[in-house]
Amino acid sequence: MKRNLKRPGCWLSAMGLLIFASGLVLLLPPAREAVRLTFARPPAHLTVPVRGVPAAALRDEWRDSPGTILGGWREILAGGRRHHSVDIQAEIGTPVVAPAHGVVLSVGSWIVRLLGPGGQVHTFAHIHPRSSLHVGLVVEPGDVLGDLSNTRTPRGVPTFLRYGVYAPPGVPVDPVPLLLDSHSK
């Protein structure tokens, strides 16, 4: 059986289960928090991850027809894969915030991944991460992860955050209904 170590959420969850099973939960606070998050209930509501964008302004690309400039989850990317996410338009430099309590799994030059409750992995693409953001950092809803950037955004396309949520073991989840509910709370 081949393991997929490119999926940090699955790897961290497996590591958390190993730590939990071996009774070594007293390791590091981020590892303890990752184990707790893995077994916690998935959130019923999420904060919109782009500051200043009202949930009512979001288009549910999971249900809308594909073929728009910012295609929905059905959009086919290079290599025939689908992006399974929602694109949230905003200006360059707009703060991108954590939608839920979580632990930072990975920080790249234009992408950030966060482990949230229920073992869900939240992915943020086209973001310029803050310099203080690092793997293992525990964040709360509304904490700034970075700023929206046009890194790897196709020319002529408005600036947007590509936001995806994946339940274990990597099953895409439509975040828009959760974001709409959180706005009306």
Return the pLDDT at 180. Answer: 63
List C-alpha distances in Å: 101 to 33, 40, 98, 137, 173: 10, 11, 7, 11, 17
pTM listed for this prediction = 0.76
Return the pLDDT at 7. Answer: 46
Return the pLDDT at 132. Answer: 95
The ranges assigned to domains in the chain are: 8-39, 55-65+73-183
Count CB atoms within 10 A of the CB of residue 108: 11
Give the integer Cα–Cα distance in Å for 142 and 75. Answer: 29
Return the pLDDT at 24. Answer: 43
List C-alpha distances in Å: 39 to 7, 85, 105, 111: 18, 24, 16, 25
- Angle at which helices 29-39 and 8-22 cross, to 10°: 100
pLDDT digit string (tens) for the chain, length 185 residues: 444 444 444 444 444 444 444 444 444 667 889 989 999 999 999 999 999 998 888 877 666 544 433 445 445 555 666 667 888 989 999 999 999 999 999 999 999 999 999 999 999 999 999 999 999 999 999 999 999 998 877 778 788 899 999 999 889 898 888 886 444 44
Q: Which CATH number fits domain 55-65+73-183: 2.70.70.10, 3.40.605.10, 3.40.50.300, 3.40.640.10?
A: 2.70.70.10
